Amino acid sequence: MKIEQIYTGCLAQGAYYIESEGEAVVIDPLREVEPYLQKASRNGAAIKYVFETHFHADFVSGHVDLSKQSGAPIVYGPNATPSFDAIIATDGQEFKVGSLTFKVLHTPGHTMESTCYLLKDESGKDVALFSGDTLFIGDVGRPDLAQKAASMTQEELAGTLFDSLRSKIMPLADDVVVYPAHGAGSACGKNMSKETSDTLGNQKKTNYALRADMTRDEFIKEVTDGLTTPPAYFPLNVMLNKKGYESISAVLQRGKQALSPDAFETAANETGAIVLDTRAPQTFAQGFIPNSINIGIDGSFAPWVGALIPDIKQQILLVTDEGREEEVITRLARVGYDYTIGYLAGGFAAWQNSGKEIDRIESITAEEFSKQLNNDITVLDVRKQGEFISEHVDGAVNMPLDNINDHLASLDKDGTYYVHCAGGYRSMIFNSILKARGFDNLIDINGGFKAIKESGAVPVTDYVCPSTLAKK
């Protein structure tokens, strides 16, 4: 028996490859399916099933392409209504894979089709639970994403999730290993651990949602408390996962159009495409194409694209580090952004060498920032509200990047703003968006709040533990 967790940090997502006696299953695959096919081929195995735990909201699954290319049927749990051929399993139904057995456990609550797959070894012993978004390490799936589809309130979905956990998962043996679909950083929960697997027994001891003495009403209150607004692209990804999508090969072919600086400029002017620059924040600050938006590829790239570009059909032109064009196109496609129409051949250096106009954003160190404090300056902290409340620069104004459009009316295009986040990634995204909208006097604080605090030269508020805040 081979169990492999294929974890993708950008999405905080876990896909799974399980193999036994020449047969394999893939659970919740990512959009690009070639790695799964190659893995099976190298091992002399055939993919027998593609298991989906639910209709994912935060990424586009590779189930459709993987099924077409491998011949393996897609399996969903009860209540699933995909637009393509799939096996809709019944609660308790079993699937044989080599000497292993997968038992379907219907666990509605996160969504009404949410299903876990319980793996039994050749002797029939329960070994592992592939829990999807029903049970995370340290948390459970948020119950507010499927309200419209289920015609239920988040409280009703939370109550359904409580019943699923108590009747289907908590009775399992403590030594069963839990393999969830996500870890810390995903927007599908609110308090996930950095660990990506654990024993069920330990989760019963440490996961707030699995307390043995917890009442249904307590569960509903705690699970729904503090939920933030989900990213706007979530329902759009659900529809792609439910109805199907264009092949990833077609998306790559369209996106991998190398454009000269002149052709790139013409395409930007004639199509209305967003110019997305995926270089590192400080590299971007030193020079970029006017009106381009920076979302660095070496960060939480896909989730921020999804949060800040509302239309997944938006055409996109790319500026990337040379050699990373295909990677960027693929990572955009993972969250449903399939309409990349080309990239700048030769990268930003080609644009600069062509003599075309460039723009810059001033970036200063924390020490340089401390010297400006005697002046009457405005500091914008673009971290999340919880981060800000926990600790921030005295006098700073909180304007979370997540809700950037809500703040623009309160800002003066002629004003000067010192901008920071936690480490410098989000602040450059924020600055690039404001710059594209006509704000010229933006000063980025390199290294963010971490560097500010380490400098010891800037007054900050007293630290308040986030867990203390959550109890208030």
pLDDT tens readout for residues 183-209: 988 888 887 899 999 999 999 999 999
**Residue 25, H or E segment:** strand 23-27
- Just give the CATH number of 246-353: 3.40.250.10
Fold match flag (2-236 vs 362-470): no
* Pairwise CA distance, residues 371 & 380, whole Å: 17
| 108 has a pLDDT exceeding 80 | yes
Mean pLDDT, the chain, whole residue set: 95
| Predicted confidence band of residue 131 (pLDDT cuts 50, 70, 90) | very high
Q: For position 466, what pLDDT does the model report?
A: 66
| 106 has a pLDDT exceeding 80 | yes
> Please, which residues have CB within 8 angstroms of residue 323's CB and are 6 or more apart in sequence?
none
Q: For position 472, what pLDDT does the model report?
A: 44
| 148 has a pLDDT exceeding 50 | yes
Q: What DSSP designation does 210 have? A: G
Enumerate the domain spans of the chain.
2-236, 246-353, 362-470
% the chain with pLDDT above 70: 99
Task: Please give the CATH topology (third level) of the domain spanning 2-236.
Answer: Metallo-beta-lactamase; Chain A (3.60.15)
43: number of CA atoms within 13 Å, CB side?
21
pTM: 0.90
Q: For position 450, what pLDDT does the model report?
A: 97
Six-digit token string for 280 = 């590192």
| 304 has a pLDDT exceeding 60 | yes
Q: What would the pLDDT profile of 221-261 be if each residue is shown by its tens digit? A: 999 998 888 888 999 999 999 999 999 999 999 999 999 99
Q: For position 374, what pLDDT does the model report?
A: 80
- Just give the CATH number of 362-470: 3.40.250.10
